[in-house]
Amino acid sequence: MRWTTLFSISLSAATLAALPSCAAPVAKLSQTPQTPQGPLSPSPAGHAGCGEDSPAPLAPAAVSPLAPGPLALSGPTNAAGNGDASSPSSPAETLPPALLVRGDASPAPAVVPSVRIALPSSGQTWAADGAVTLTVTNWPTMEGGAHVHLILDNQPYKPIYNTGAPVNLRDLNGGKELSAGPHVVVAFASRANHESVKEAGALSVAAFSVGPTSSPAESPPFFLVYSRPKGTYAGAQANHILVDFQLVNIVLGEKTASVSIEVRGSKLSVPLRASTSQFGRPYYVENLPSGTYEMELNLLDHAGRPVPGAWNKTVRTIVVDRSVGPAIKP
């Protein structure tokens, strides 16, 4: 005799409604003015996705009642209700097409924050195990909330939630002591969703030297600063991934410069590409399947040619894992 087990699943609408949302709205592309940058100072504002730095909440998914009757269960499912594509025994993920789209910028802060690198100051010689000291005003910070992105030599940023505490240079350099020679550190205000504040005054740059060196401590005359995406995106976080950057001493425009964005990965039949000559509104990568992806940002001149410079081309690897829930902040 064959026995058949029937499963019925019901989800409480109240339970779903209580789930917090992580995704930011995406608007149709529109032309908005940009704010020019002053020398070694900030830029305009944005809005973000989640990643390894934030305890990103899941956006509630649309749920339709399940028809009564037998339900076939095969393998673990992810937060979107799809099978884990990385598991040979799980069905392939069923997702809308992956897209690279432009979203709306977050509203400008009522009071523009001031972020300044107090130490080391530009041109100063600093100890390899020295610390960076920030002076931040009009930008209250807290774990899981607003913070400051601190970047050394175009490495992935470190989120700073306690802006009054010195930050050892080793913590910005993968735990390693800095090499002798010139270095550049950048700090800027960031919202809880990691979208940077781009108004003037919210960004600071300092060029300094470590140890005896014949190379002067100078920052590039102008450059692109990669901010997001970063790290691992779990579950529904991958539905809406923020792409955000800052600019130092350069104004984008059809006759000046632009920034190109490219997303590559084995789960994409063709790379996702975009180019913008406007600064202020972030981009979002939507509906990425589980896998590993390369994100590349380039600063281009008026003719579309790459602008030389250590900061002006950045390639970062991110991971999407839809088989698990939201990433926990490290």
Poorest-pLDDT segment among 127-131, 156-160, 198-202, 209-213: 209-213
Using the predicted structure, report yes or no on whether residue 53 has a pLDDT greater than 70: no
pLDDT at 52: 57
Cα separation, 66 vs 170, in Å, equals 53
Give the separation between CA 182 and CA 135, rounded to whole angstroms.
22
Domains along the chain with CATH numbers:
24-56+77-106+224-321 (2.60.40.2550), 114-221 (2.60.40.10)
Q: What is the pLDDT of residue 14?
A: 38
Q: Is the pLDDT of residue 238 over 90?
A: yes
- 67 versus 164: which is more confidently predicted? 164
Q: Is the pLDDT of residue 305 over 60?
A: yes
pLDDT at residue 34 is higher than 90: no
pLDDT(218) > 50? yes
Q: What is the pLDDT of residue 219?
A: 85
Q: Which band of pLDDT confidence, cut at 50, 70 and 90, is reported for residue 23?
A: very low
Average predicted confidence (pLDDT) for the chain = 79
Alpha-carbon span 306 to 122, nearest angstrom: 27
Digit-coded pLDDT (tens) for 105-115? 999 999 999 99
Q: Give the pLDDT confidence of 146-196 residue by residue, as tens digits.
A: 999 999 999 999 999 999 999 999 999 999 999 999 999 999 999 999 999
Per-residue buried b or exposed e for 50-60, using 16+ beta carbons within 10 Å of the residue's own CB: bbbbbebebbe
User: Which parts of the chain fold into alpha helices (H)?
Assistant: 13-18
Kindly tell me if the per-residue pLDDT of 263 is higher than 90: yes
- pLDDT-derived band of residue 127, with 50, 70 and 90 as boundaries? very high
pLDDT at 202: 98
Spatial distance between the Cα atoms of 167 and 196, rounded to a whole number of angstroms: 20
